[in-house]
Amino acid sequence: MNAVKQDDRTINDFVKSELGAMNLLRVGDLVQGTVIEKGVRQMTIDLGSHGVGAVYRGELQNARDMVRNLKPGDPIGAKVVHIDNEDGYIELSLTQADKQKAWEEVQDLRDQEEIVKVKLTAFNKGGLTGELRGLPAFLPVSQLGNGLEGRAINNKEEIEKVLQGLVGKEVEVRIIDVNSRTNKLIVSEKAATEVSTKELVQNYKVDQIIEGVVSGVADFGVFVRFTDNPALEGLIHISELGYRIVENPKEIVKIDDVVKAKITEIRDGKISLSLRALKIDPWLRVTEKYKEGEEVEGSIHSFHPFGAIVNLDSEIQGQVHVASFGSVEEMKKQLGIGKEYSFIIESLVPTERKILLKLK
C-alpha cells in the first residue's frame, strides 16, 4: 500500500510540475476522473492532467452508497476541497460534488420553468417540506394549488389537518426560488397550474404590433401589459420610446396609458417592444423643415458636459456646444431648462442625426 501511495505521489508531483501551470484547479471546482484504487480508508482518483486526487475515510463513509459498487477504471465526479494536502494529493469530496450538481440542476429547472414532481414528507405551520434532487424543498401554504390559504386562513386546526393529509403525496410544482448559499429551494404548486411565460410568448412573433397598458415606468424604460393577455408584459427600453433623447420615460407615457407597440425581440420568454418602430423617422425629411443658416426657436431640454440639448419640435433635437459659452457654468447662467430661445442653425447633418445650433 505504501509503495503504491509513494508511486502515486511521484506521478502526481510530476504531472503538477509539468502541466499544473496550464491546468490550475481551484477549491470548489467540479472535476471528472477515474478510480485508481479503492480501500477502506482512502480512494485515489486519476484526474488526468490535473494529477491524482484522494477521497478519505470520513468522506467515503458519507458517500458509501455512491462508492459501494465502484471499482478501478470506473468514472466518477468529485469536488475539490484542498489543492495540495500533506500527502501530496488533491483532496476531493463526493457528497459535495453531488450536492453542487443537484443545485445546478434545480437552477436549470427553474430557468426553464419546468414542472417537476415532489413527494411531500412533512409539514409545519408555514407549509410542507419535501425533497427534490436530494435537496430539501419547501412548499409554502400560499403556493398550494387548492386555494387553502383563502379557505382556511383563520382556522389553524383546519390548516394543520389539510397539510397533514398532504404528507406522503406527490405533487407537481414549479421552482420559484433557488439559493444554494442559503440552502433555499422554494416550490409552488400554484405556479405549476399556470401557463408559463415561455408558453405565452409562443403566440406572438417579431414585428407584430400589439396593444397594451403601461403597467410600470422605470429609469431604463416602460413595462407594458398586453391587452389581449394580461398575464404577459413586455419592455420598451428608453431608447425605443422615440427618435429624440429621452431623459425620463415619464416625458412620453404614464401609468395606465394605452399604447400600441411593435415587438422587436423575443428571447428566453421575454418580449422587447418599441414605440419608435411605429413612427416615421423624422430625420429622413429633416432638410425640408430646417436649413443651415436659418433662425429657429427651441426650448432647452437638458444639460450635458458637451453642451445643451434643444427641442426644436416634438421629434427633432439640436445641440448647443459648451464652447459657445466658455464653460458649463456660464452656459447654465445664460440658458434655463424648459425656456425658449432663438438659435441659428450652424450645421445640419441628417446622416448623423445632428443639428448644431448657436444662441442668437
In tens, the pLDDT along 241-260 reads: 998 888 889 989 999 999 99
3-class DSSP state of 298: strand
Nearest to 320 by CA among 329, 353, 311, 351: 311
Q: Return phi, psi of residue 322, to 5°.
A: -65, -25
Highest mean pLDDT among 31-40, 113-122, 254-263, 315-324: 254-263
Average pLDDT, stretch 157-164?
78
How many angstroms separate the CA atoms of 281 and 243, rounded? 7
Residue 50, C-alpha cell as written in the block: 490535473
pLDDT of residue 262: 97
How many angstroms separate the CA atoms of 121 and 131, rounded? 8
Nearest to 94 by CA among 68, 48, 132, 60: 60
Residue 291, C-alpha cell as written in the block: 436649413
State the pTM of this model: 0.48
Average pLDDT, stretch 83-90?
83
3-class DSSP state of 346: strand
What CATH homologous superfamily does 113-193 map to?
Answer: Nucleic acid-binding proteins (2.40.50.140)
Domain at 2-15+31-95: CATH code: 2.40.50.140
Q: Do the first three CATH levels of 113-193 and 285-359 match, i.e. the same topology? A: yes
How many angstroms separate the CA atoms of 208 and 315, rounded? 24
How many angstroms separate the CA atoms of 152 and 154, rounded? 5
Domain boundaries, the chain: 2-15+31-95, 113-193, 198-278, 285-359
- With 80 as the cut, is the pLDDT of residue 197 above it? no
- With 90 as the cut, is the pLDDT of residue 276 above it? yes
Residue percentage of the chain with pLDDT more than 70: 90
Domain at 285-359: CATH code: 2.40.50.140
| CATH domain 198-278 topology | OB fold (Dihydrolipoamide Acetyltransferase, E2P) (2.40.50)
Q: Return phi, psi of residue 196, to 5°.
A: -70, 155
